[in-house]
Every structure is written in structure tokens, then in C-alpha cells.
Amino acid sequence: MLSAALRSAVEEIAGTEQLLVAMDFDGTMSPLVPRAEDARALPENAAAFAALTELPRTSTALISGRALASLRMAAQPPQRTLLVGSHGAERWFGPAEPALELNAEQTKLLAAVSQIFDRVAGQYPGVTVEHKPAGVVLHTRQADERSAERAVALAEQALQTLPLAPHRGKQVLEASVLQVDKGQGLELLRERSSATALLFAGDDTTDENGFRALRAGDVGVKVGEGDTAAEFRIDSVAQTAELLQLLLAHRRNVLR
Ligand SMILES: O=P(O)(O)OC[C@H]1O[C@H](O[C@H]2O[C@H](CO)[C@@H](O)[C@H](O)[C@H]2O)[C@H](O)[C@@H](O)[C@@H]1O
């Protein structure tokens, strides 16, 4: 059950002139699973999100750490949904959107990080690497606890020689060659959709930049446990459906 305060905030934001519903994917729309390629939104989350996409004066967006191609594959979003991938480094706002391009220095740095992560993953069973256009992710969800800790520590140590700031997420260590975050991604989405208010939900440490970028009248919802700058919280990915369905019902009422 959503808290009374969140229900009331959802009712209020549903009345805004131009609404943006921006959702994180993994851990928010989709349960976390061992292999990133197997993640899918819960059907009830996807259905409520798709129904919001069809409404007038309403935009939907997915804002994810995933590469755009991987986000599209896993989320299979409605055609009109705006997409921000790689934590803000990649975006798709329409067919004219240029693809991300790295300069020579960034390309070299990406190759160096990839080499380090591949080498580390090769030493620990269950540790895998996800390569993205502007970053690399060391996944430890399928490794035992000791191997996971060692692999992350080894990779962090090796990365010290490189000019980047890796961060830990949910059983991942991630390094990007571009300094972008979900706060910047949300600002782009706000501008692009001409939103007068936005609802953003996310579960991971990188979503905190998004919560910090929210303004008066926006609604930020943290999914699950952990410190957060979000004003509201829901327990789990299953409750995301309750949140989106409530927003959908109020928005439909307002638009009648
Ligand atoms: O911003 P998000 O959409 O939440 O993306 C964050 C990372 O999500 C993916 O990793 C997470 O989900 C995987 C599948 O459930 C899980 O195996 C992993 O342990 C999680 O950390 C994705 O693979 C990363 O690239 C994203 O940065």
C-alpha cells in the first residue's frame, strides 16, 4: 500500500499541465536478475507505463544506466517513450538523434578500462563484464561473495591509474569515460518534454543524482531500502505498478 503522503503527491502531480513520467529500469520497472540480458519489466508495470504514454499532455521516459541498445532490448518501450541510456551519455528523443561519439582520448580510455575489467573477470568465476558505448560494468551477482569482493577490490585498485571515477551499484562496479549523471539526463528530458512537473522513480545509487535534480512540484520515489534524497519511498518493484496505476487513474480523471 502506498503511503498517504505519496498518494496525495501523485494526485497533485496528475493535475499538472504537461506531465513527464520518468522511470529507471532495473530494480524499478524490472526485478533484478542474475543476467542483465534477462531483465524484463513486470507486465503490470509495463502496461500502466504504456497506458500513460498514450495520454495527451503526458510524456514517458526511461532513464537508465544501460546502454540504449540494451535498454531497448530489455524494456521494449512504447515508440513514443523518450530514452536516456548510459546514465545520461546516450539519448533517443526521436529519429534525428545523433549517436554518441567518443573522441580519441575517450576511446583509448574505454579500451584501457575494458582490458582491466576483462582481465579481472577472467580470474573469478561468475564475474562478468558488460561493455557499453561509454563505459564498462563488472557484474558480480553470479559470483560467490568472496570472489565478488576480491574482483571489485582488484578492479578498483587497477583503475586508480586511470583518470576516471568508478562507482559501485547493485552488485556492479561501473566506470564511464564521460562525466554524466541522471540529474543531467532528467534535465534534458524535462526540457525536451516541456514538462511542468515530473515524477521520477529509481532504486540505485546513481538514481540519487536524479532525485537531487528534482524541483518543487516534482515527485521523487525511491524503490526499496537505502539512504535517499527522494521524498517518497515504495517497498519493491511490485509496488511500482501501484504507483503507475494510481497516477494513470488520476491523470485520466484530470484529462476527461
Ligand atoms: O539505471 P538502471 O536502469 O537501474 O541500470 C543500472 C544498471 O542496471 C543493470 O544492472 C543491474 O541489473 C541487472 C539485471 O537485473 C543485475 O544483474 C545487476 O546486478 C544490477 O546492478 C545493468 O546491467 C547496468 O549496466 C546498469 O548500469
pTM: 0.96
Number of folded domains in the chain? 2
**Ligand 1 centroid to residue 252 C-alpha, Å:** 32
- Statement to judge: residues 115 and 184 lie in one domain: no
The rounded distance, in Å, linking the Cα atoms of 84 and 236 is 23
Average pLDDT over residues 228-234: 98
Task: Give this complex's ipTM.
Answer: 0.97
Domain of 83 in residue numbering reads as 4-99+180-255
pLDDT value at residue 230:
98
Q: Which of 123, 153, 176 is the last residue of a domain?
A: 176
Would the pLDDT of 218 be above 90? yes
Mean pLDDT of the chain: 97
Please, is 163 exposed, middle or buried when counting C-beta atoms within 10 Å of its C-beta (0-12, 13-18, 19+)? exposed
- Statement to judge: residues 138 and 87 lie in one domain: no
- Statement to judge: residues 187 and 168 lie in one domain: no
CATH number at residue 74: 3.40.50.1000
For the Cβ of 32 lying below 6 angstroms from any atom of ligand 1, the answer is: yes
Q: Which of 140, 155, 176 is the last residue of a domain?
A: 176
Handedness of CA 208, 209, 212, 215 (dihedral sign): negative
- Statement to judge: residues 159 and 47 lie in one domain: no
Q: Express each pLDDT in 81-139 by its tens digit.
A: 999 999 999 999 998 888 899 999 999 999 999 999 999 999 999 999 999 999 999 99
Alpha carbon nearest to ligand 1 atom 11, residue? 26
Q: Express each pLDDT in 13-42 by its tens digit.
A: 999 999 999 999 999 999 999 999 999 999
